[in-house]
Structure 1
Amino acid sequence: MRAGVILFDLADNIVGSDRTIVNLEGAWASISGSDAVRVNSVHDLPSDVLWLTNLNFNSFFRAGLSRHPNFRRSDWLRATLAQLIEELGVAANTTATHKTASTMAVLVQRVLNVAMKRYGVQPSARNGRLNADFAERLGVKRCAIPDDLYPIFQSIAEHPSVNVIHNINHTALAPTVTVRRNRLAHARRIMGTAVPSDSGWERMRRVQSDDGWLEKVETPFLVKAEITNVKPVIAEVLSWGGGSRNMRDWLTDIEWRVVRQYGT
């Protein structure tokens, strides 16, 4: 397989404020072993060449190049193309762009040759990065969370965002990550929830001063309760008022059990 590099003139500004493509024309393209040439469109390029572009993730997808199996974004080699250009000393401040394109094309071709001939790696547009192709070829096991750790994530997964552990003081700009439970397990839990019918309801009066007796009720129920002192960390998830000024005071049995953990 042949490899090449294409350097778009305005790689960092190909999308206008109205989200339309304003520049995917004008670029230097080089196939390994050949001098770089000016191209006016990606359609001028041969389709039997793997092309490494200088477009980042967002620009690559906005330009629609993800639909073409022979184009790769700038981080296909893990390090970005700009980083490699800088490390090799062929940046724009010292080297003409067409020279940079031809130099990087040779590098990409050598990497591709080693990957395919020595390791049997077949580049796939599905993976996006060459290291993912290596992992697939070598049968590297994907990261998996042990089943016994899932209960720990149950309450975390119900919160919209969780602070990532970092070694600096907490600030408003601290990174966050959204934790989601396994979709299949969540679907089974929801589908397995008992849903009462429209008839057969019975009004029950409180039989004790506290709410411990409700734990013994095995059928679905609605309970009228006054919610106070909900922990701030969980308040935004509970959102019992749903944005209403008047917070509702009727809870289902499931909601009541959750409130008992985080409020009074």
Structure 2
Amino acid sequence: MVQGHRNVHNLRGSDFFRTNVSQIGADLGLDMSTTNSAQVAPTISLIATRTFKLLAECYEWKPNELANAEKLHQNIRSRFPRDVSLNNPALERGLQAAYQTDSALSKADFIADSVFLTLRMNRLAHAKRVMSCPIPEDAWEYIPGVALPSSQRERLAFCLGHEHPVLAEVLVDMSKADSQYAALSAFGQKASSRMVLREWVSHPELHWLSRFAPLEIKSVFRSSRYVALPDTLQLPAALTSDPLLQLSYSAGLLAENHWMSLASDEYNKITKRKTLSSRAVWLRAADRALCFALAKKAVDKGFVVTGYGTGAVRVRIQRSELFQALEFAIENQLVAPNFGRIIHAGDVDAAAAA
């Protein structure tokens, strides 16, 4: 697959592509049980091989430059210039607090005749949408509470109606929030960790969070203006020139890792700590906003949403609801999972009886 890298530990792991092998199989509707590994291995291997071929084509890498990082998005990140330090500890703390990679709701228990599905948007199309969102220019000013309008209504209007990027210090009162959609916002709840106390939100998140949860704005950082993501950071032309590539699972994996490379923190060897750009915070917020909109539709459909992020929504449904989930996927142009391999003959009878 990658010459000279057979013994590299990161390729022996299951999550080099960020999406682990089990989830790739689930997206494709493959039986990933141990007894069936020999049957699915060629398909998984083909996807990996195509991804590496696209990787070499898109970034013009030599074989010894491929897969030389722990994860693919880190490998891609090495192609871009390092982010410039903000030299503002207070702003850096605000950005760290506003950064949320995914949203996890309270775990849904397994019940008889139910399945857990990952409903996924087209990765390449989603990457284009996320990266089309404007990002802040890193020229910030701090506006303390005494310099903001006195009433919270006016403060919210000041932030939401602002043409400049705003990073707001907030106090969110979930006890007075719309119970259904506020819980769906999963403010500070990530799949990979305990609930995080968040005190800052970015401009995009403030727009939709304020619709479902009462919040108090305490202070803000304001950037000089919004700018487009630089052309040098956009998806490679090899991924965008042919519309048919949106049908490629491998192209989707690569596109997802590309935007994630720009939306992740970066370890600084000089300061020996991780740094986070405003770009990363805004791109993650854009992703979560798009995923929240899809998750809200799933809740309105009656599905139990367990989490969302990175272009996907995770749900628990009854097997009798599989056809409803299929209709939902078609209506929202979702590409995974492969319902043709999930729906069994017995599910047709169950759907008819429901």
Q: Is TM (by shorter chain) over 0.5?
A: no
Considering fraction of residues, name the structure with more helix. Answer: 2
Per the normalisation by structure 1, the TM-score is: 0.32
Per the normalisation by structure 2, the TM-score is: 0.25
Whose Rg is larger?
1
Considering fraction of residues, name the structure with more strand. Answer: 2
